[in-house]
């Protein structure tokens, strides 16, 4: 399967249905993954979440409509799936920098978020070695930092460094790193470092019993771990039959290696 051809089909579908409620499940089927996996792939490829991309494309079109069509603000709001003129006006002003009522006066201030186009000629055939394991419920203890898609690459390694400086002598080296996501799984929320033992001063984190897709990396280097994560999301998952469940990703550190664990349905 050419993942980039399938992604272009998704983009075209979105463009054709901006005036309707877009079914993410239908989009995910186009590349043979579930919604969680699609959202992570889209965010990693484009540095923008799927939800935000759709929002910006709708607001781009709304600016054109207000400028060129004789339509009321409330009609444009309904057309692009906003529940009220107030909610639409707030979003419109945040994106364009002007109110909908000011469009005729300040046409030159309108913005447009371009349609994403993927190069379908990219041919990549990487080889992956992996295991499938099942783990019982885990009870872990650790510390965390709030992150987002833009700063996780910097804030996660810093938390790891801070944890080692502050707690290594007292508790030893932490056992896990963990990324949590928002409810749509397209935006990072927190990064944790976790111990596989009870530590009263730390936050308690429970990971339910689950199957895991595991990739082994002979390194604990943060950059290499991030690169592995992206390779799995962008190259492995779209061409495999595996789908992710709504659990966090885990990094398991032991014996100078990292096992990156992706939760499976």
- The H or E element that residue 64 is part of is helix 50-68
Average pLDDT over residues 232-254: 85
Predicted confidence at residue 82, as pLDDT, reads 95
Q: Is the pLDDT of residue 238 over 90?
A: no
Residue 155: burial class (beta carbons within 10 Å; 0-12, 13-18, 19+): middle
Q: Domain 131-264 has what CATH class?
A: alpha beta
Average pLDDT over residues 63-74: 90
Q: Is the pLDDT of residue 191 over 90?
A: yes
Stretch(es) of the chain classified as CATH 1.10.10.60: 3-109
Beta bridge partners of 131: 214
pLDDT in tens, 92-149: 999 999 999 998 888 888 999 999 998 887 666 567 789 999 999 999 999 999 998 8
pLDDT in tens, 140-178: 999 999 998 888 888 999 999 999 999 999 999 999 999
Stretch(es) of the chain classified as CATH 3.20.80.10: 131-264
Mapped onto helix, strand or coil, the DSSP state of residue 206 is strand
- Higher model confidence: residue 219 or residue 136? 136
Contacts of 183 (CB under 8 A, 6+ apart): none
Predicted confidence at residue 137, as pLDDT, reads 95
Q: Is the pLDDT of residue 261 over 90?
A: yes
pLDDT in tens, 12-24: 999 999 999 999 9
Q: CB of 58 within 8 A of CB of 194?
A: no
Select from 133, 205, 215 the least CA-distant residue to 174. 205
Select from 131, 167, 149 the least CA-distant residue to 226. 149
- Higher model confidence: residue 14 or residue 31? 14
* Assigned CATH for 3-109: 1.10.10.60
Q: Is the pLDDT of residue 242 over 70?
A: yes
CA 257 to chain centre: 25
Computed from CA positions of residues 35, 40, 41, 43, in that sequence, does the dihedral angle turn out positive or negative? positive
Confidence of residue 34 (pLDDT cuts 50, 70, 90): confident
* Average pLDDT of the chain to the nearest whole number: 89
pTM above 0.85, yes or no: no
Confidence of residue 31 (pLDDT cuts 50, 70, 90): confident
Predicted confidence at residue 109, as pLDDT, reads 86
């Amino acid at each position: 399967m050419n993942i980039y051809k399938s992604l272009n089909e998704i983009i075209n579908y979105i463009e054709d249905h901006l005036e309707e409620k877009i079914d993410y499940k239908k989009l995910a089927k186009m590349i043979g993954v579930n919604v969680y996996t699609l959202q992570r792939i889209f965010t990693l490829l484009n540095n923008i979440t799927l939800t935000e991309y759709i929002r910006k494309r709708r607001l781009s079109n709304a600016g054109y409509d207000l400028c060129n069509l004789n339509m009321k603000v409330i009609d444009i709001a309904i057309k692009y799936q906003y529940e009220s003129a107030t909610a639409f006006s707030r979003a419109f002003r945040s994106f364009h920098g002007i109110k909908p009522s000011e469009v005729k006066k300040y046409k030159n201030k309108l913005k447009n978020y371009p349609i994403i186009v993927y190069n379908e000629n990219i041919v990549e055939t990487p080889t992956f070695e992996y295991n499938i394991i099942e783990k019982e419920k885990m009870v872990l203890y650790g510390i965390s930092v709030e992150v987002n898609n833009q700063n996780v690459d910097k804030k996660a390694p810093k938390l790891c460094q801070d944890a080692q400086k502050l707690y290594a002598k007292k508790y030893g080296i932490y056992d896990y790193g963990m990324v949590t996501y928002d409810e749509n799984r397209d935006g990072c929320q927190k990064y944790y470092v976790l111990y596989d033992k009870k530590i009263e001063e730390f936050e308690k984190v429970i990971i339910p019993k689950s199957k895991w897709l595991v990739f082994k990396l002979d390194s604990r280097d943060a950059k290499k771990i991030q690169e592995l994560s992206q390779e799995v999301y962008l190259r492995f998952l779209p061409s495999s039959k595996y789908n992710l469940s709504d659990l966090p990703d885990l990094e398991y550190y032991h014996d100078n290696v990292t096992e990156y664990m992706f939760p499976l349905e």
